[in-house]
Chains A and B, each alone.
Chain A
Amino acid sequence: MMPEFIPMLGILGLSYLSLALFALAKFGHFKDVFKRPPSQWQSRLLTLFAWLLLIISLSTCAHGQGWAYGSILFMGIISLAAMLVILTLSYSPRHLPIGIVTGSVLTGSLLLSGGI
């Protein structure tokens, strides 16, 4: 039962990353986090990367669990990740970059160790 949770942490990290980038692509949230407005190309780039990460996390999930089970699981994970992003943004937006770094380190290390 336990090992099931570990690769899922990686997917959660990826989804968190993706949603955090989506949030940063929005004018208001970017300003809350960095105290300055984003330029237009910054916004576009963030959105692009966010989509990429979202697709990667869905396909990783489906790859590990099969499409039927994986896509259902993905929906659940994305809800949880969205909740975490919202909590970070509304209670301490300055810490979003820390969340992003944690997410990448978590996902990266699991990817390297072959955990996902």
Chain B
Amino acid sequence: MKETFFRTLSWLHTWAGLLVCWVLLLIFFAGSLSYFRHEMSLWAEPELHRGAFQDYQVDQVANQLEKGQSYIETHSAPNTQRWLINFPTDRSPMLSFAWQLPPEKGQRRGKIEQHTALADGSGVITDVRDSRGGDFFYRLHFDLHYMSAITARYIVGVCTMLMLIALISGIVIHKRIFKDLFSFRQNKGARSWLDAHNVSSVIALPYHLMITYTGLITLMLMYIPWTVSTAYPEDNQAFLKELNPARQTEKASGIQAEQVRLSRLLPQVQAEWGDAPIKQVIVSYPKDQNSQVTFYQNTGKEVTDESTILVFNGVTGELKYASPHEVSATVATYDTMMSLHTARFAAPLLRILFFFCGLLGCAMVATGTLMWAIRLRQKQQKAIDKGEKASRGLRLVEGLNFMFILGLPLGAAAFFYANRLLPVDFATRSAWEVHSFFIALAAMGVWAFFGRSRRHWQLALMLIGVLYCALPILNAFTSPSHFIDNIRSQQWALVGFDIVALLLGSAMLFASTRLSAVVKTLQKPSRKNTATSEKVRRKQPDPSYANELASSSPLEEAKS
């Protein structure tokens, strides 16, 4: 019985993981990058890198509100739907004034026009290149691309569910989970890949479980809508309204009214919040009788996704609602899970650690798929030795590995290069930035047709490594401030971008040189023990070399 139980589970682990592994790799990769969504967006708009950075200043708020309101009133169209005034925060250290136009036909949301104030108050920056920045990666990890968001979310949901199954079955079949916690045996062929798979899974296991489970929860009402639709058969809006009364805004009445001065509301805000920083002020339906003003507090490190808000009547200035309202345990649980997944509360250090764990997730998926390819190849080794061609399945798996494991980092690099190199006045530039991501991914797929040997992995890794290492140089030439400037002006988001690019680039170059070291060792077996190879990371040497090192099939141990 026991034998069958473990066999069944390892069958489940293999297939649940492998069926969706490349999509999972894409989700993990894009999701990990989204931890730096705002930082990437900032990087993608170099026009803002000079003169706009400022810190939040309590004594300036009234002044800034007044100025923002006058600016928007004079510059926006009369049919504007919302006004937005964004105050500087740690991650987005700029004051900006924005307004949203009514949606055009066929679109759900209207376009937002955003102007950023210069820090010395001497004017605004209006010409910023059109780019999706970090939002692209954020959307990519649950909306994919080139398909409707709903279809994509169902695909992502299925993949996530399979991932959760793979994780749990993986824990059960990995019997030596604590015994082998620190074991990574290098240069042992398939054994090393298994070790790398185990290590990257186990040391970030709490993270993997958390991110997969909460990932499902974020869209749970879409995946399982029936509880809500049974209780609220007519109308989903009624459910949302009951869930959070503050989220509902009244419709515009169409009757003109005098808009309250925002700075006049400030004493009431301070009476409620003291000097707690304000993140954003939104006016919906300005100059309408049903106008409403919402103040959002910057909640910093609290583990919550629920915003702390104050809602005022936009005409009389009367306080209509103040959060937090009493929430039930269910809502509080849901909120905590949301915030764990999005990590909006995370300060820089924790954000870096989340990113690190996300990369370990990529490594987990990548090593899993590479092991699959090795196992397939081992099964066919005898036939291949006799001169037969590798089976179609094996070629497909190896090709897709090559395409996704190398293509995703290359795609991200292509996106950033496109952001800086496409002409600023190019009409569909933000769309072409996105296209270049997928073109790079597809290019790796085409490359895989022509060769997937160790030599090709080595070349591709070198190419990607060089591209990443050159990103700081690209930045220096295409933005007003380079690396040293940014350190001097303490713009850690931009400094961090360069550092991460350099680290990833060097890791890939390192992996590439290790590959050639391994090639040499293979030729001189006596020096086997002196060569080392970094296999813990996502950018990895070729599966087939590991195969050549593995005489027996230690992989079967795990399948016991």
Within A68-104, which residues are at the interface with B (CB < 8 Å)? 68-69, 72-73, 75-80, 82-83, 85-87, 89-91
B residues 192-206 near A (Cβ < 8 Å) are 199, 203-204, 206
B residues in contact with A5, CB < 8 Å: 349
Q: Are the CB atoms of B349 and A73 closer together than 8 Å?
A: yes
0 or 1 for each of A5-33: is its CB under 8 Å from B? (1 = yes): 10010000000000100110010110000
Q: Are A8 and B349 in contact (CB under 8 A)?
A: yes
Q: Are B303 and A89 in contact, with the CB atoms below 8 A?
A: no
Complex-state Cα separation, A65 to B357, whole angstroms: 20
A76 touches B303 (CB 8 A): no
- Shortest Cβ distance from residue B550 to the other chain A in the assembled complex, whole angstroms: 17
A76–B356 contact, CB under 8 A?
yes
Say yes or no: B90 contacts A69, CB within 8 Å. no
Asked whether any CB of chain A lies closer than 8 Å to the CB of B182, the reply is yes
Which residues of A are found within 8 Å of B204, using beta-carbon distances? 79
CA–CA, A25 to B520, complex, Å? Answer: 36
A79 in contact with B182 given A1-B90, A72-B303, A91-B532 (CB within 8 Å): no
Asked if A82 contacts B182 (CB within 8 A), the reply is yes
Contact B303 A75 (CB under 8 A): no
B353 at the interface (CB under 8 A from A): yes
Asked if B492 lies at the interface with its beta carbon under 8 angstroms from chain A, I say yes
Contact with B along A44-74 (1 / 0, CB 8 A): 0000000000000000000001101100110
Complex CA–CA separation, A58 to B443 (angstroms): 47
Which residue on B lies nearest to A2, using beta carbons? B492
The reply on B421 being an interface residue by CB < 8 A is no
Q: Are B185 and A90 in contact (CB under 8 A)?
A: yes
A28 CB contacts on chain B under 8 angstroms: 183
Q: Does B446 contact A (CB under 8 A)?
A: no
A29 with B303: CB separation less than 8 A: no
Please pick, from B186, B199, B353, the residue contacting A80 in the complex, using a CB distance under 8 A.
B353
Stretch at the interface among B153-161, B340-348, B401-409: B340-348
Contact A23 B182 (CB under 8 A): yes
Residue pair A26, B182 in contact (C-beta under 8 Å): yes
Known: A22-B181, A90-B185. A79 touches B357 (CB 8 A): yes
- In the assembled complex, the CB of B329 is this many whole angstroms from the nearest CB of chain A, namely 16
Flag if A80 contacts B356 (CB, 8 Å). yes
* Contact call A86/B206, Cβ cutoff below 8 A: no
What is the minimal beta-carbon distance from A100 to any residue of chain B, in angstroms?
14
Per the bound structure, the CA–CA distance linking A79 and B364 in Å amounts to 14
Residues of A contacting B301 with CB < 8 Å?
Answer: 65-66, 69
B354 touches A (CB below 8 Å): yes
Residue of chain B at shortest CB distance from A92: B532
Q: Are A79 and B203 in contact (CB under 8 A)?
A: yes
Kindly provide the distance from the CB of B56 to the nearest chain A CB, expressed in whole angstroms: 14
- How distant is B350 from chain A, measured CB to nearest CB, in Å? 5
Chain B: CB-nearest residue to A65 = B301
Chain A nearest CB from B53 CB (Å) reads 14
Is the CB–CB distance between B199 and A86 below 8 Å?
yes
Contact of A73 among B207, B340, B350 (CB under 8 A): B350
Residue of B nearest to A81 (CB): B203
Query: What's the minimum C-beta distance from A5 to chain B, rounded to whole angstroms?
Result: 6
Closest B residue to A24 by CB, please name it: B182
Which label, helix, strand, loop or mixed, suits the secondary structure of the B interface? loop
Q: How far is the CA of A89 from the CA of B303 in the complex (A)?
A: 35
Cα–Cα, bound, A86→B363 (Å): 15
Chain B 207-243 per-residue mask, 1 if CB under 8 angstroms from chain A, else 0: 1000000000000000000000000000000000000
Give B345's nearest chain A residue, CB to CB. A69
**B52 interface residue (CB < 8 Å to A):** no
Known: A23-B182, A72-B340, A76-B357. A4 touches B536 (CB 8 A): no
Return the contact of A76 from the options B90, B181, B184, B354 (Cβ within 8 A): B354
Residues of A within 8 A of B348 (CB): 1, 4
**Do A73 and B203 form a contact, CB below 8 Å, given A23-B182, A89-B182?**
no
> In the complex, what residue of chain B is closest to A75 when comparing beta carbons?
B206
Given contacts A1-B90, A4-B347, A90-B184, contact A69 B303 (CB under 8 A): yes
A4: B residues at CB distance < 8 A: 347-349
Q: Residue B179 at the A interface, CB < 8 A?
A: yes
- Tell me whether B278 is interfacial, beta carbon within 8 Å: no
Annotate B321-355 by CB proximity to A: 1 below 8 A, 0 otherwise: 00000000000000000001000011111100110
Q: Are A89 and B184 in contact (CB under 8 A)?
A: yes
Q: Is the CB of B303 within 8 A of A77?
A: no
In the complex, how many angstroms separate the beta carbon of A60 from the nearest chain B beta carbon? Answer: 15
Q: Are the C-beta atoms of B179 and A26 separated by less than 8 Å?
A: yes
Residues of chain A within 8 A (CB-CB) of B203 are 78-79, 82-83, 86
- The chain A residue with its CB closest to the CB of B202 is A82
**Counting CB contacts under 8 A, is B26 at the interface?**
no
User: 1/0 per residue B527-538: CB within 8 Å of A?
Assistant: 000001000100
Report if B309 contacts A (CB, 8 A).
Answer: no
Q: Are B181 and A82 in contact (CB under 8 A)?
A: yes
* Nearest CB in chain A to that of B90: its residue: A1
User: A86 near B303 (CB under 8 angstroms)?
Assistant: no
The answer on a CB contact under 8 Å between B182 and A86 is: yes
Indicate if the CB atoms of A79 and B353 lie closer than 8 Å.
yes
B469 at the interface (CB under 8 A from A): no
Interface residues of A (CB under 8 A from B): 1, 4-5, 8, 19, 22-23, 26, 28-29, 65-66, 68-69, 72-73, 75-80, 82-83, 85-87, 89-91
12 contacts between A and B (CB under 8 A): A5-B349, A19-B182, A23-B182, A69-B301, A72-B303, A75-B206, A76-B356, A79-B357, A83-B203, A86-B536, A90-B184, A90-B186
- Chain B contacts to A: CB under 8 angstroms: 90, 179, 181-186, 199, 203-204, 206-207, 301-303, 340, 345-350, 353-354, 356-357, 360, 492, 532, 536
Nearest 7 CB-CB pairs, A to B? A76-B353, A82-B203, A90-B184, A23-B182, A68-B303, A79-B204, A75-B206
